[in-house]
Amino acid sequence: MNGLKNCTFIIPFRIDCPERQRNLSFVLHWLAHIDAKIALIEADTISRIDKTSFTENISYRFVEDHNPIFHRTHYINTLLEQSNTDVVSIWDADIVTKYEQIEEAVQNIMKGNTLTYPYHKECIMLSPEDTEKFLKTEDFTCINHQESHPIINRTFCGGAFFVNRQKYLSLGGENEHFIGWGPEDAERLRRVQIMKHPIKWTVKGNAYHLYHPRNENSRFFDEKTAIELRKEFVKICCMNKKELHEYIKTSLKQSI
């Protein structure tokens, strides 16, 4: 697929199980058909990534990080600030969508939207069996929708999204108060809405989440962290545009 040279896919990751490595290798293979840059950042005690799946359009950086909580929002911001394309996609290591949905999401950014999604508000969680079948066939029709189910029963807004880089950075980029797994996807959407920036989903099509075990970076780290992250989300949701503008200027970024 051509025409995406002005787009960078950024993927921050930490490999905590063999399935994560398998999924990331497949996602890199899937995105290799797109004429775009791919920027990876691995944050862990040691590098675990299998680099044999790398292609020439991939840049890779390892950061030694001994924190058991993967501070994904911080590493997204690091890559956002380093990117030099107008369009940036933040992509999970376990998400796949159809190519035409990716192209539509990029076009929606080029039409003036600040935040776009390469799916129509739904993500299907693939079963282990459907994941294996899809990885072998690369055929969406092999998915058994009776065994694989939507992740949530409301509008999905995570997994993969595209931004106008400059506009999104002007809105603070990622909120680094969200450490580890939490409601950062919903917060991002709500913050962009409060600031009155345009948002668009594709007309049709799902996102698909490849199976992996739910380890410590796929759930709230502990009850204290869960409470703090929920408080941050509610605080953002309760702000008006002026209040949020001031908060963005002073409070979204953290040093680690």
pLDDT in tens, 145-184: 655 566 666 789 999 999 999 999 999 999 999 988 889 9
Among 74, 72, 116, residue whose Cα is nearest residue 94: 72
On whether the CB atoms of residues 40 and 241 are closer than 8 A, the answer is no
Distance CA 241, CA 9 (A): 29
pTM of the predicted structure, to 2 decimals = 0.92
| pLDDT tens-digit readout, 97-143 | 999 999 999 999 999 999 999 999 899 999 999 999 999 999 998 88
Tell me the CA distances in angstroms from 14 to 82, 123, 130, 180, one per residue in order: 20, 22, 24, 11
DSSP state of 56: T
Find out whether 109 and 116 touch, Cβ atoms under 8 Å.
Answer: yes
Torsion of CA 241, 165, 217, 179, to 10 degrees: -40
212 with 14: CB under 8 angstroms? no
When the candidates are 3.80.10.10, 3.90.550.10, 3.40.1670.10, 3.40.50.720, the CATH number that belongs to 4-169+199-221 is 3.90.550.10
Strands 149-150 and 123-125, bridge-based pairing: antiparallel
